[in-house]
Amino acid sequence: MDDNWLLQALMQLIPLILSLTVHEWAHAYSAMRLGDDTAQRLGRLTLNPIPHIDPIGTLLLPLIGVPFGWAKPVPVNPTRFTRKMPMRTGMMITAAAGPFSNVVLALMCILIMGVLARFSFDNRAVEMLLLSGFQLNVLLAVFNMLPIPPLDGSRVADGLMPSRLRPGWERFTVYGPFVLLGLVFVNFQLGGGMFSWPLNIAWRLGAGLLQAIAS
């Protein structure tokens, strides 16, 4: 392990911790707005990273180079949601809030990069952090919206699932975690290339916005 390895690890770890923190906070905040204060009472409605950190998923795996990570899941109790909204809809909203926060963070990274370029601010470390933050948040948003349990996308899919398809969907949810593990394994074998196409699309869009701000 040399200094270059440590720098690269930190450039990945810092945006990951911040992104996962905002992701989990968004779940907690949306649940609170819908009437469920479970996460708030457990100290999870915070932007302090410490309550959200999972020692293995947030720290160990990213540090050893595994392209996969997670934070402690925010507890949500749909029975405490406001009666004005069906529980299934409330769960769909709280689930989507996490990936949506990652989209917002990715956009913020591009906006900051554009502003810094416009004012000729040249700092390689800052640029690397922002670029890493952009890529990471795009990947987090796309990955978490996959309709595979226990990812956020599965709860969104559950809220939108028509009644005629629900029996098959409920059978699939039993095997969802195994499908997810298989997907992660295949993606690891491909060097993370399975998700390169959404990242490339997002970068093309982001680069256009960055250029427009910087010019």
What CA–CA distances, in Å, run from 38 to 75, 81, 113, 200?
Answer: 7, 11, 37, 38
Q: Write out the H or E segment, with its range, that includes residue 31.
A: helix 3-33
Q: CA dihedral in degrees (184, 188, 189, 193; nearest 10)?
A: 100
Measured in whole angstroms, the distance separating CA 143 from the mean position of its chain's CA atoms is 7
Of the residues 24, 36, 152, 158, only one is catalytic, namely: 24
* Contacting residues for 46 by C-beta, under 8 A, at least 6 apart: 25, 28
- Beta-carbon contacts of residue 183 (< 8 Å; ≥ 6 apart): 146, 148, 194
Nearest CA-CA partner of 96 in 50, 146, 138, 134: 146
127 among known catalytic residues = no
| Catalytically annotated residues | 24
